[in-house]
Structure 1
Amino acid sequence: MMFFLFLYLLIPVCATFAGFIVWAINRGQSLDDGTLIRDFLIILAISLLLVGGAGTTDTVRLYLDPQFRLQTEMDAHPVYSTIKRVSPDDHTKLDTFLAVQMSHGDTLAEAFLQARPLLTQLTNQRSGWADQKTKLAWGRVSVDSLKELQAIDPMLCYRTLSTQPPSQQELAHAFSADNTTAFQQAVVKVYESSVLGISNKRSPDDEAPVEFNAAAREFYAIREAVAQRYGKPVAELATNKKAFPATPTQPPEKMCAARIFQLEAMLERPQAMAARLIDSLLR
Structure 2
Amino acid sequence: MSPKLIDQAADIVLWLAGLVILGILAAFLSYILYKGLPVLSWDFVTGMSTDVRAGGGVGPQLFNSFYILFLSMLFSIPVAVGAGIYLAEYAGHSKLTDLIRLSTESLATVPSIVLGLFGMIIFVNTLGLGFSIIGGALTLSLLNIPVIVRVTEEAIRTVPAQYREASLALGATKWQTIWRVVLPTALPGMITGLTLTAGRALGESAILIFTAGTTVSRVLPDPNLLAAGETLAVHMWYVMAVGLVPDRIEIANGIGALLVITILIFNMVFTILGRLLQRRLSGTNS
**TM-score (norm. length: structure 2):** 0.25
* TM-score using structure 1 length: 0.25
Q: Which has the higher contact order (CA 8 A, sep 6+)?
A: 2
Q: Pick the structure with greater CA Rg.
A: 1
